[in-house]
Structure 1
Amino acid sequence: MQRIIPIVAIVASLLAFVGAQICQECQADNDVYCLNQTSYQNCMKNAAFGAVETCPTGTVCSNSADVCVDSSQVDGTTVLDVCGLSASCQTCNTNKKYTCVSQTQFARCSSSGVVLSSSVYSCEEDEICIEAGLTFYNNICVPTCAADFVGFTSTCSNSVYQPSSTTTTTASPATTPEPSVQATGCTKAANADASLSSASYFYTSYTADATCRSYLYCQRATTGWTTVFLSCSGTRPYFDPTTSGCVSAKPTECT
C-alpha cells in the first residue's frame, strides 16, 4: 500500500504533463501549439491552424491564457515554459542540475553546463530516467509502471552511459539562414510538390541541414514568402516531411 500511493501521485503528475504542456502539440490549457520557445500557432479541435505567431523578446510560449509570458513568470508548476522543458539526453545547461545519460542513469551537471562523468548515478531497478520527472515530482527516476501508464519513455535511448570522449554526439542544427535563403527553400518546395503549390502555408525540410533537424514554416505573402526557421529538439529531434512534424526516429528520407 505504501508503494502504491506514491506511484499514483507520480502518475497524476505525469498525466498533467501529458495533457497540459507538450512541445509541438495542442495544449489543453490554452489551445495553443508551441512550435518552439518563442513561436506558436493557435489550435481548434486539437489541430493547429493559421499563421505562426512570434512571442515578444524576453517571453516564452507557455500554457497560460496569455500564451507568451515573461521568463520570470515561469514557475515550473502553474506557468510553464512548454518547449523549454523538452529534454535532451546527456545535455546540460545553466538551469539544469541533473541530466539523463542512459535509460536508467543520470549525472550531475556543472555550473558551466557540462555533464560530470565522475558523478553518474543509477535509478532503482524498476525505474527509468525521465527528465520531466524533476519538474513534476522532484525525481529524475520514474517507476516504469507509472511511465508505461501515461505512455512516457526514457529520455535517452542508450542502455549504458559512455563518456563523451568515447561516444558520437549528434551534430547541432544548422545556423539560421538568411530570409532570402528561407524564401528560396519555400519556393523550391512548392514547385516540387503539387499539393503545396496552392497551399496558403506549409512546413518543409530545410535541406541544407544534414542533421535533418531543421525545417521551414512557409506562408504566402503579397510578394514572396513569410518564413520562420524552426528546429526539432529533445526526444523528437528529427523533422518528418511526410507528417510535417517532429519525430523521435530518423525518417528514411534523411541521409
Structure 2
Amino acid sequence: MVKFGVLVLLSAIAIGQGETTIESQCQVCQEENNVYCESESTFLRMRGAMKLGPLSCEADEVCSNSGNLCKKKTEITNEVLNVCGANCQSCSADRKYTCVSRNQAALCLNGQASSTIIIDCGEDEVCVDDDDGKAFLCVPSCVADYQKLSVPCSSAAFTTPTPAPPTTPSGDNQKSICQAAAVNKKTLYFFTYADSSCRTYVYCERSSSTSTDFTTTLSGSCSSPNPYFNTVSGKCQASVPDNCESEAPST
C-alpha cells in the first residue's frame, strides 16, 4: 500500500456552519434497517451477530438507509441516502480523490477508489471530502465538530469493496428459484443456490413460513479466495459445501 503524507488544508474550508446533513454509514450496520452496506451496490443483512451475504442490489440500484434498502438512484433524497456512494468511496464524474474511511482518502483511478494508493490523515484528524473531489481535506476532529463539517465515511479503516457479480438472476427468476427451494422449508427466510456452480445464490424472504409469495428476493455470488457459498452458514467459503450437490439446481 502506497501512503503519502497528509496535506491539511484548513484555509480551504468554506463549508457553512448552519446546515447539517445525515451522515452516511458505509460499512457500518445501520439501525434503520439492520443492513451493512459493503459497497454502493452490495450489502449484508444483520441477524443478531450473524451476517447474511454479501447480497447485491439490481444493476440500476444502490444500497440505501431505507427500509426497502435497494433504491434506484433517482429515488435518492436528503433522507434516503446512497450510503456508500454519496461522498464516501465515490469516484463519479471527474473526481480525483475520495474519502474511503473516517481518516483515510484514496486516489480515484478509472472511476474507482484505489485500494493501494491510500492517504492517511494524521492522529485525531478526519477526512472531509470537498464537493467536486478535486482535493481532500484532513482536518482535526475538533475543527470538524466545531464547524459541523460532514464526514462522509464512518468506518474506522478502508476495506476494498466486494464488486457486484457480473450477472445475477432477474427479479422474476429469483422468485421462481425461491418458490422451487421452499418445498419442505418452514422458515421466514433462507438462502438457496441459483445454479449448479454453488457460487451464485439467492436470499429468499416471505411474510409467513407457509407462503409462496416471496416479498424480498436478492442475489449475490462469491469470488476467490472463497468462491463457494454455503446456504447453511450464509457465508462464502474456499471449498464446495456438503449440500451443493443435493440442493443446487441441475442447470
In proportion to residue count, which structure has more helix?
A: 1
- Larger relative contact order (CA 8 Å, sep ≥ 6): 2
Higher share in strand: 2
Q: TM-score range by the shorter chain?
A: 0.3 to 0.5
Give the TM-score of the pair, scaled to structure 1.
0.40
TM-score, normalized by length of structure 2?
0.40
